[in-house]
Amino acid sequence: MNGAWSSAAVRRAEAELMPQLPPGTLMQRAAAGLAAACARMLKTLRSDQGGQGVYGSTVIVLAGPGDNGGDALYAAARLARRGARVFAVPVMRSRVHPLAAAALTQAGGRLTSEPPPSCDLLLDGILGIGGRPGLPDRAVELLGRIKSRITVAVDVPSGVDVDTGSVPASAVAADHTVTFGVRKPCHVLGAAALLSGRVHLVDIGLSGHLDPHPMVRIAEAGDLVEWWHTPGPDDDKYTRGVAGIAAGSAKYPGAAVLAVSGALAGPTGYVRYAGSAADQVRRRYAEAVCTDTVKEAGRVQAWLVGPGIGADESALSAVRDVLAGAAPAVIDADALTLIGEYPSILAGCEAPVVLTPHDREFERLYGSAPSLDRAGSAAALAKRLNCTVLLKGHHTVVADADGTVWANPTGRPALATAGSGDVLAGLLTSLMASGMDGVRAAVAAAYLHGKAGGIASAGHRTITSTDVARALPLAIGQVLSGGAGQAGS
């Protein structure tokens, strides 16, 4: 399974494997993989300048006191042997891995307290999975003055909270992270995921010794292919599932249009709309079947209620009517605020429910904002309300009531645009209506939405929610055909 393991789980696996190997083997495997990754990056970096990759490049290592510094110094020794000019700075006075430092000097690298002002590649070997959040002052000072063309974090960007992905103090911002054995939660959660840059995995033989259950699961295209309900020859528009959308109002008709656009892009064959923006929906989407209220709509296999419905009596009735029914439901936007005010509506609901809060909506439901441990917060809300929770962010997380947490690998800050959540909620509803369970539908919707955002914003284009909705069919096609299945591409 694809996932991220906690530092404690990595330690346990290491402790089991280490005695079976000659001393230092794991560190040498890590250093070899790290040096090879750096060599590839230097080759790409310098190719347009007629450079020769590693030979003649300048590499600066910021070396911390532990094994993370050891990995960096051993890798730098390999680069020095291939002709790189290597300068290593111990960031905590003389506390540095002694054997690795000796290996570097033997290979021609220099240990110094005065590195050059710039380099091709800066190797962050300050702190790894043994690090507490924050950086030593000396590291902050060096990072502030060294100009590097690329920054490569060893195992994790130093300074982040490895197990939660939070960044409560100073931390390294890397272009790439080369990690060992398995990904760690900080590569896929919270602000640390942005600081990790592109993550490269080096196999050091840990996998057979790991707990089978990761701390955080990471969706990949293959999961979506496995979960997808592909229509068969006997299917018709009803058996493919009918999605119901209770969204929009006279004040916010656009929310209805966007939610319907998300639902129409999904796998269901039929979309019903219920609400006071029916005219706008009809005008835009002839295929949607419109009624004024949830009660008047025919049967659906999943409802969305909330985007743009407001907080008046008719909005409250829509939420009550949806949750009184037997169909699974997605509760979004204004409906989340109403649930926060009238929790009893949700308490009586027996159908599976997915809540899709952003941080302020989360606070209305939980009583406090998500903590820096976003995955933990989402799991706590899911457990308390016995629902699935999709907590939005540049790295969205999905948590189930049983404590399972998924990190979405495809999101990007550009998706923080008005109406983007309406499209996501519509798509999620279509996935649930097609028969996917709530957690899988939430994971799949976040993945596809992020991927569509990537397609729409290619070349750094600015995007609107309509652009994201338009890109969904292509994103879905790419994932299902197994092509360009890279997360975030």
Ligand X SMILES: NC(=O)C1=CN([C@@H]2O[C@H](COP(=O)(O)OP(=O)(O)OC[C@H]3O[C@@H](n4cnc5c(N)ncnc54)[C@H](OP(=O)(O)O)[C@@H]3O)[C@@H](O)[C@H]2O)[C@@H](O)CC1
At 294, give phi and psi (nearest 5°): -60, -40
The footprint of K ion on this chain (CB under 5 A) covers a number of residues equal to: 4
Residue 178 interface partner, choices K ion, ligand X, none, CB cut-off 5-8 Å depending on type: none
> From the CB of 126, what's the least distance to ligand X, in Å?
8
Interface with ligand X (CB under 6 A): 10-11, 14, 26-27, 30, 64-69, 71, 127-132, 134, 136, 154-155, 180-181, 204, 206
Q: Which does 10 bind (CB under 5 to 8 A by kind): ligand X, K ion, none?
A: ligand X
Q: Which of 26, 60, 61, 154 binds K ion (CB under 5 A)?
A: 154
Nearest CA among 215, 243, 175, 173 for reference residue 436: 243
Q: Compute the chain's Rg from CA coordinates.
A: 25
**Residue 64: contacted member of K ion, ligand X, none (CB under 5 to 8 Å, by partner type):** ligand X
334 binds, among K ion, ligand X, none (CB under 5 to 8 A by kind): none
Sheet hosting strand 118-125, strand order edge to edge = 110-111, 85-90, 58-63, 118-125, 147-154, 176-180, 198-202
Nearer CB in complex with K ion: 86/274? 86
CB of 143 to ligand X, least distance (A): 13
Strand, helix or coil at 164? coil
**Do the beta carbons of residue 158 and residue 64 sit within 8 Å?**
yes
Decide: is 158 part of the binding site for K ion (CB under 5 A).
Answer: yes
Q: Which is nearer to K ion, 190 or 376 (CB)?
A: 190
Binding range to K ion, per CB under 5 A, among 25-33, 139-147, 157-165, 219-227? 157-165
Nearer residue to ligand X within complex by CB, 31 or 339: 31
213 C-beta neighbours (distance < 10 Å), count: 11
Per partner kind, with CB cut-offs from 5 to 8 A, the member of ligand X, K ion, none near residue 107 is: none
Min CB(175)–ligand X separation in Å: 18
Smaller CB distance to ligand X: residue 13 or 329? 13
69 is in an annotated binding site: yes
Partner in contact with 129, chosen from K ion, ligand X, none, beta carbon below 5 to 8 Å by kind: ligand X
If the CB atoms of residues 14 and 223 are measured against ligand X, the closer one turns out to be 14
For residue 310, CA distances in Å to 5, 201, 325, 332, 466 come to: 41, 46, 21, 11, 21
CA dist 474 and 53 (Å) reads 37
Q: Give the chain's length.
A: 489
In angstroms, what is the minimal distance from the CB of 370 to ligand X?
24
Q: Measuring CA to CA, which residue among 250, 262, 242 is closest to residue 292? A: 250
Picking from 486, 482, 478, 352, the residue whose alpha carbon sits closest to that of residue 410 is 486
| φ and ψ of 390, to 5 deg | -105, 105
- Choose, by CB under 5 A, the member of 14, 120, 124, 332 that binds K ion: 124
Shortest Cβ 286–ligand X spacing (Å):
57
Cβ closer to ligand X: 73 or 353? Answer: 73
Beta carbon nearer to ligand X, 206 or 247: 206
CB of residue 396 to ligand X, shortest distance in Å: 26
- Strands 289-291 and 270-274, by their bridges, are parallel
Q: Which is nearer to ligand X, 123 or 206 (CB)?
A: 206
Q: Which residue is nearest to ligand X (CB)?
A: 128
Listed as own residue / partner, the contacts of 272-275 with beta carbons closer than 8 Å and 24 or more positions apart are 272/242, 272/243, 272/244, 272/245, 272/297, 272/298, 272/300, 273/244, 273/245, 273/247, 273/297, 274/244, 274/245, 274/246, 274/318, 275/245, 275/246, 275/247, 275/248, 275/249, 275/309, 275/318
Q: d(Cα 325, Cα 289) in Å, to the nearest integer?
A: 19
Residue numbers at the binding site for K ion (CB under 5 A): 124, 153-154, 158
Which segments are annotated as binding site for AMP? 392-396, 421
